[in-house]
Structure 1
């Protein structure tokens, strides 16, 4: 059978994976298998489910280097960065167990002769749609707590990272997890539409763009009883105040804006500075540091700081947004450029958009940082909130009072003070406001949406009131 799509190594362009889109019949069979398996899996005690997850954790540890190498080849990340992704996946098992103990605790109370009980039930069959930028860590962040809660899973990786999805499935297959608990389908847009609209699903956990998330919201608006958890992008602000240590500010800005070549939903997209002589020094030092950044393929020695974008098309999209901003009166301070290494290799860029006739409020998924100059801190917060997104926001400041004011007024779900915006921990919540999510934060709080609380009033025997009602008397 002729393959529908392929992926190639970002190191040597060798074939990594080829295959076909899962058919509608294939999706239907997978959903039915997951639904049948759910009946027994949901009855399995939590402690036993955790043992299966520990087996998977052992597989991740044993295959850490080979899995990280595959992610580097398929996505283009440097090997050092892919290893941190596998580390996060390994930690997720214990973090999810801790989250269950903290947040999903059955409750029992007495109300006279009646016992009041609250317990938690899994939803059923959940689909997980994974993104390409963290093809292991981000879907794993949904899958682990969902399995622990007693759901069965159908995972559709991004069509840009199918090999990573297959490797992930292979590790599960090497555990004793019952067949049908974790399932994989492959494909692009049509496969995603076929799965998301299947009547047999009980919910969908999505990480990706706002446009796709909006379409899923429309689709699920007719089925309010089904779970939909959306983790989408952002047009994230980083406000920088005058501080003594200029190098620290430059480090945080570069880590926030350019790590993973800007392909993180949490990355800074807008750098908000008070118009001052200090800010000019900062920009000058920032440009010098950017020129020193090593960019190259994952197998380059010594390892680069940045790899390529996921595709040539993604690089061209960054250049189009840059040119659009210039057309709107933006001033390029450091243009993005395609390198001779390949058409998906692009240098980080800086553009001053203070004088733009209008702002482009969209997520530029690449290494382009927009600079906005303001008069004071109050205006900086207003500018930071001037977006329909609300995922992350950062502040670099030596003032605790400014941080308190920033926390109070900023409209974003993940905040950072004097640390990179891209270093969110799985031991906290991770979710956005406004167009960045639908109020279903993941990470430590993912356990919340993986089950639903059920209230129960109980008595071992039927109870009569102490005073018999008139209508019950003979």
Structure 2
């Protein structure tokens, strides 16, 4: 392909501190969802390319892990400053390759900065325990990095999700190979450049682009100790099964079907604005987006406000694009099917075209009332700016619907009744709960993660509890005092 037609140079691999080309690798086009323009091409790498990256990481591991954590973290203080300095350019790149609004992209960079800032605090959290367990005998625990780890990240957050893993895993002494989504590879390549500029030693961080072939190769590679994955539940299951079958530590985060339970006493304006923001933020392409509203009793006054609020969200203005033409078609098919089954389309976002960006992939905010729990739109992950409203009579009935779905990322409840809110929080089968909050994402040091088919594996990759995932525990028992005598311990 003539490189003059590309807005950005062809995406390369980043191995051992250098951007490198493998000319014989086939490529995919990187298309901007905003207007359908060609941004770049991304190589579909082979298992041999992955092995080069893993060997670079393996070679870098002894030196990097041998540096005291107080010194390793200095690289990330500098990196955090570079994120701040380059925030505008990084945000604009997210818009181009991912289709987000500039406000959403800036928020993603702000979150990336926060995640890096948290990693800089890890030296204060990783200290082990020391205890005199018997006269003259001391036990202590220390944490050690795993070695070479891999991170497989999705299209919907090309900066934030990589920062769920990169700062924590590397500060804790691991070296990494990351595989970005082939739909949005540009942001991760920019991250690689900034990490090098911040002083990260060569080989500590490597990027290998590709598709299913590289994911499978990561799961199979004998020198990769752990894998983190974020994406669909279908693929999360496959990665978890294949990775653990190869005796790796794996944590795979999958999809979601998040329910918001709305009671009649909910504050109308706040509830409507929160729900619409949850539905339409990032064009609904996030695993914490509201997907179903479970209206309990008489909530027509709130539904009417939701519809009014949704019409203030304008594609191309304060609503971005979905990732691809195929995604647009899939989302609109869900809406059409629900309508055919008797649901009422209150706000219709199908067939949206943005003036001047006619080749972009846009779906407008969509509110569908009178949905029944057996419809596909109520059971399956739509991943678009669509809210299905299911009517219920009691909180218990709403929770039964919520807890019968296979996913378990988030539940929200909107009410001014503390007892009702606590009832939902205690009984919802989800890992994250929001009370009068449409997107209950925990902030650091709390970790992100759901239950059921939204998460496969133990521990967390973010927050304070990520220390356990990215390190292994060593216990040391010491006796220096010969006069202490001999007992059953020695």
CA deviations over 1:76-123 (Å, ceiling 9, x no partner): 111111111111111212212335534x33111112222101010111
For residue 463 of structure 1, report the CA deviation from its aligned partner. Answer: 8.9
* Pair 113,3 (structure 1): closer, same or farther in 2 beyond 3 Å: same
- The CA deviation at 1:10 is 4.3
Q: Which residue of 2 aligns with 1:471?
A: none
Alpha-carbon RMSD across the aligned residues, in angstroms, is 2.2
Are 2:45 and 1:22 aligned? yes
Superposed displacement of residue 285, structure 1: 2.0
- Go from structure 1 to structure 2 and tell me whether the alpha carbon gap of 1:190 and 1:98 turns closer, same or farther (over 3 Å shift): same
- Determine the C-alpha separation between the residues in 2 that align with 1:329 and 1:288: 22
* SS, match of residue 454 in structure 2: coil
| Residue range with higher mean Cα deviation, 350-359 or 403-412 | 350-359
Q: CA deviation at 1:220?
A: 2.4
Q: Do the aligned partners of 1:22 and 1:185 also contact (CA within 8 Å) in 2?
A: yes
* SS of residue in 1 equivalent to 2:121: helix
SS of the residue 1:93 aligns to: helix
**Distance (whole Å) between structure 2 residues aligned to residue 403 and residue 238 of structure 1:** 12
Shift of 1:423: 4.8
Contact 2:70 2:123 in 1 (8 A): no
Quick check: 2:290–2:387 contact (8 Å CA) kept in 1? yes
Residue 330 of structure 2 corresponds to 317
**C-alpha contact (below 8 Å) 1:257/1:369 kept by paired residues:** yes
Q: Could you list the runs of 5+ residues in structure 2 that have no partner in the other structure?
A: 1-22
Distance in 2 (CA, whole Å) between partners of 1:17 and 1:363 is 29
2:254/2:453 contact within 8 Å kept: yes
Partner residue of 2:201? 178
1:394 to 398, 412, 429: 412
Q: Which runs of 5+ in 1 are unaligned?
A: 297-303, 469-474
Give the structure 2 partner of residue 300 of structure 1.
Answer: none
Partner of 1:143: 166
Alignment of 1:248-259 (within 5 A): 248-259=270-281
Q: 1:235 aligns with which of 253, 257, 276?
A: 257
- TM-superposed CA distance for 1:356, in Å, is 5.5
Relative to the length of structure 1, the TM-score reads 0.91
Which of 421, 435, 438 aligns to 1:417? It is 435
Which residue does the alignment assign to 2:154?
Answer: 131
1:122 and 2:140 equivalent? Answer: no
SS of the aligned residue for 2:303 comes to helix
Q: 1:208·1:231 contact (CA, 8 Å) conserved in 2?
A: yes
1:351 corresponds to which residue?
Answer: 368
Contact 1:255 1:422 in 2 (8 A): no
Structure-2 separation of matches of 1:364 and 1:154: 30
Aligned to 1:338: 351
Aligned-partner Cα distance in 1 for 2:428–2:363 = 32
| Distance (whole Å) between structure 2 residues aligned to residue 244 and residue 202 of structure 1 | 48
What secondary structure, in the 3-state scheme, does the structure 1 residue paired with 2:379 have? Answer: coil
Q: Distance in 1 between matches of 2:251 and 2:482?
A: 40
**Number of positions where the alignment pairs a residue of Structure 1 with one of Structure 2:** 457
Select the residue among 312, 315, 321 that pairs with 1:292. 312
- Of residues 244-253 and 333-342 in structure 1, the stretch that sits farther from structure 2 once superposed is 333-342
Give the TM-score of the pair, scaled to structure 2.
Answer: 0.88
2:96 counterpart SS class:
helix
Contact 2:432–2:441 at 8 Å: present in 1 too? no
2:426 is aligned to: 408
Distance 2:375 2:315 in 1: 32
User: What is aligned with 1:447?
Assistant: 467
Q: What's the CA shift for 1:11?
A: 4.8
Whole-Å Cα distance in 2 between the matches of residues 188 and 86 of structure 1? 25
| Pairwise CA distance, 1:380 | 1.8
- Once the two structures are overlaid, the 10-residue window that deviates more, 317-326 or 387-396, is 317-326
Residues 1:81 and 1:422: Cα distance change in structure 2 (over 3 Å) = farther
Query: Hey, what's the Cα distance between the residues in 2 that align with 1:356 and 1:122?
Result: 46
Would the alpha carbon gap of residues 401 and 447 (structure 1) be closer, same or farther in structure 2, given more than 3 Å must change? same
Q: Partner of 2:93 in structure 1?
A: 70
Residue 453 of structure 2 is aligned to residue 435 of structure 1: yes
Contact 1:267 1:422 (8 Å CA) reproduced: no
Alpha-carbon contact 1:350-1:371 (below 8 Å) kept: yes
CA-CA distance at 1:13 after TM superposition: 4.7
How far, CA to CA, are the matches of 1:323 and 1:356 in structure 2?
16
Aligned counterparts of 1:253 and 1:106: Cα–Cα separation in 2: 43
SS in 2 for 1:390: coil
Q: 2:56 is matched with which residue?
A: 33
Tell which deviates more after alignment, 453-462 or 29-38.
453-462
Measured in 1, the distance between the counterparts of 2:304 and 2:242 equals 48
* Between 442-451 and 420-429, the greater mean CA deviation after superposition: 420-429
